[in-house]
Structure 1
Amino acid sequence: MTVGAPGSEVVLETSRLLLRPWRAAEAGVLRELWTERDPRVPPHRRIDKDGRPTVAELADAIRTNRMWSTGLLAVERTTSRDVIGYCGLVDSGRGSAGEPELAFELLRRVWCQGYATEAAVAVVEWARSSGHERLWATVWDWNTASRRVLAKVGFTETDREEVDAVHGTMLFTTRRL
């Protein structure tokens, strides 16, 4: 794993992946992620009836660093140089102060190839080397694939959950570093 020097942009490298800042030209990948989301995902995280966010809006958000300043890195395959999703740390406010949340999402066409686990391991190691003592991750109870990834990288489910009658139950997981 390669990590940028303190104060520089974060770049993480694994045997198959490069995790790095987003480029505006990759907004189409983000739009594709939005279109693939499960219909049980809350509406504010899906494409709305007016087709928003658009590729142009997502590109602008990347360019102005509005959406990606939280530490979500583009996940790029090193052999094909294509971006397949994101993984990183966000300050969701769901965990304790100073304890970020691990977040990841990959395009459906690359599921079941170990990429999410590989990217998550790199981000967990980055968090440990950055001095974090614990990470959180939230996951819908129906999202068995993401629950498996979290378990593989050492997260355990807590007793905390948020029940939503429409979208399901949000489970809270944590991992000590």
Structure 2
Amino acid sequence: MVVDAAGRAVVLETGRLRMRAWRVAEAGVQRELWTERDPRVPPHRRIDAQGRPTVGDLEDSIRDDEFWSTGLLAVERKATKDVIGYCGLFDGGRGTPEEPDLAFELLRRVWGQGYATEAARAVLEWARASGYERLWATVWDWNVASRRVLAKVGFTETARTVVDAERGTTLFTTIRL
């Protein structure tokens, strides 16, 4: 569960969204995100040949509070109460505990409605208020929509990249808060 410095569960709200800890019953949304991923995404982030992770695997992960399942906040639309993806900070990619990565992923059916930008802005406001001075985000060069979201919220691309002949180039972006 994502907690603030005082140990309280983080809940962020915008005009249309509420971001909060995942619930076990929402494992199906996580599974749907896994099934929708581009084939260029690394295999460890896609459904494997045995069909894993299954909904049951993801339920267990949420129940056990495993980071890869719950380290990012569920993004829920206030009007319909449905979870449409995740957004938050994590210590992966380029990130460290002092300068974490921003990450977001939304279901395809809600792409193009401004939810990723809205969620990212809320996380940035929370990060600023929490004392973070700089954040990172990595993005594939071919992921134009996510690159656009990062630019809208103020991230700039750095000169650092990692080239993968099979999957494309990973771009490193950053923002000073």
| Local SS of the residue matching 1:15 | coil
Partner of 2:101: 101
Note the alpha carbon deviations across 1:92-135, whole angstroms, 9 max, x for none: 15135610000000000000000000000000011001100000
**AA aligned opposite 2:165:** A
Q: TM-score, normalization: structure 2? A: 0.95
Note the alpha carbon deviations across 1:124-153, whole angstroms, 9 max, x for none: 011001100000000000000000000000
Aligned-residue offset at 1:71? 3.6
Partner of 2:126: 126
**AA aligned opposite 1:162:** V
| Matched ranges for 1:14-163 at <5 A | 14-67=14-67, 71-92=71-92, 94-95=94-95, 98-163=98-163
Identity, % of aligned positions:
75
Where in structure 2 are there 5+ consecutive unaligned residues? none
Q: TM-score, normalization: structure 1? A: 0.95
| Paired residues, number | 175
Aligned-residue offset at 1:67? 2.6
| Local SS of the residue matching 2:151 | helix
Task: Establish whether residue 175 from structure 1 lines up as the match of residue 175 from structure 2.
Answer: yes
Cα distance in 1, alignment partners of residues 69 and 176 from structure 2: 24
Cα distance in 2, alignment partners of residues 78 and 116 from structure 1: 15
Please say if residues 70 and 89 of structure 1, whose CA atoms lie closer than 8 Å, have aligned partners that are also in contact.
no
Cα distance in 2, alignment partners of residues 152 and 22 from structure 1: 26
Where in structure 1 are there 5+ consecutive unaligned residues? none
Aligned-residue CA RMSD in angstroms?
A: 1.7
Note the alpha carbon deviations across 1:30-68, whole angstroms, 9 max, x for none: 000000000110111000010000000001001101135
